Amino acid sequence: MERMVITFVEGKLPTVEVVAKGVHSKKTVSIAALLGAMVTEASLPPIWVEDNLVATNGLDQNIFFVPPHKRDLLIDDLYINDVPIPGLIIALKSDNNKAVNVLLFAVTEKRKENLRKTSFLYKMPFPNTQSSGAVCWGSSDVSQYGERDWQGVLTEFFSSQFNGDLIKKASKAHPEDIREMLIELTGKEEYPVNDLVASPSCASLSELLEKGGVR
């Protein structure tokens, strides 16, 4: 980021203007969102107030929060609908403005403004993912997505066919096979976050930030 200007006008929402890599952006933000991006002892580093963006080094690494939502999934040859997904952290590393590496973690927070440096990271409760956050993409190619295209990366992930690879230690109720948990959750309203398994590789968001996200 080369320059950021925050403008306050009485009776109006503040505007944030950013010049980064020669590109000028301007956005109106809420006071709550602006305060949530400021530095305090418990908050994250200062960032351009952008939906879903948690932190960026302004170059090749961006970390995003995705709130809880529902997805249709293909597990082996079984289609299941309306499966609740917990809040997610997705870290993208890019090269030449294209995603080249991805880390995925689950979190218990439901809103980005509730994240703190101390927020715990949990193993992604899905097959084909490692406790380090790394993803086994198979034949999928994430380099087709841009450096901040977390939506495209997640769509690629959730639209793939989940198999029996890396299915253990992703659920407390079903420690041998996370697929059983996902099938059990079909049509439920929320993912039971008390069932998430802590990541042994990256314990907290602070640790992920200190490591620089994706290396």
| Structure token digits, residue 127 | 């097959």
Instruction: From residue 133, give the alpha-carbon distance in Å to each of 75, 102, 112, 198, 215.
Output: 20, 8, 19, 11, 12
Residue 30 sits in the same domain as residue 63: no
Residue 36 sits in the same domain as residue 92: no
- Assess contact for 103 and 214: CB atoms under 8 A: yes
Residue 68 sits in the same domain as residue 14: no
Confidence check: pLDDT of 30 > 90 = no
pLDDT for the residue numbered 28 = 72
| Residue 169 pLDDT level (bands cut at 50, 70, 90) | very high
Residue 199 sits in the same domain as residue 105: yes
pLDDT for the residue numbered 95 = 85
Please give the Cα distance from 148 to 136 (Å, whole number): 20
Residue with tokens 């993208």, as numbered in its chain: 92
Residue 150 sits in the same domain as residue 172: yes
Number of domains comprising the chain:
2
Residue 26 sits in the same domain as residue 82: no
For the ranges 47-56, 80-89, 100-109, 189-198, which has the lowest average pLDDT?
Answer: 47-56
| Residue 32 pLDDT level (bands cut at 50, 70, 90) | low
Name beta bridge partners: 75.
Answer: 78, 162
Specify the higher pLDDT residue, 112 or 18: 112
Please give the Cα distance from 99 to 91 (Å, whole number): 10
Residues sharing a CB contact under 8 Å with residue 122, sequence separation 6 or more, in sequence order: 86, 105, 106, 107, 108, 196, 197, 198, 199
Residue 111 sits in the same domain as residue 31: no
Confidence check: pLDDT of 123 > 90 = yes
Instruction: From residue 134, give the alpha-carbon distance in Å to each of 72, 161, 183, 194.
Output: 22, 17, 23, 22
Report which of 54, 49, 41 is spatially closest to residue 6, judged by C-alpha positions: 49
The answer as to whether 215 is a domain residue is: no
Residues in the chain: 215
**Against a cut of 0.95, is the pTM above it?**
no
Residue-number span of the structural domain to which 96 is assigned: 51-210
Instruction: From residue 34, give the alpha-carbon distance in Å to each of 6, 26, 89, 116.
Output: 9, 14, 20, 15
Residue 33 sits in the same domain as residue 79: no
pLDDT for the residue numbered 113 = 85
Residues sharing a CB contact under 8 Å with residue 10, sequence separation 6 or more, in sequence order: none
At 170-208, the pLDDT tens digits run: 999 999 999 999 999 999 999 999 999 999 888 898 888
Residue 117 sits in the same domain as residue 156: yes
Whole-number average pLDDT of the chain: 83
What average pLDDT does the segment 20-45 reach?
Answer: 55
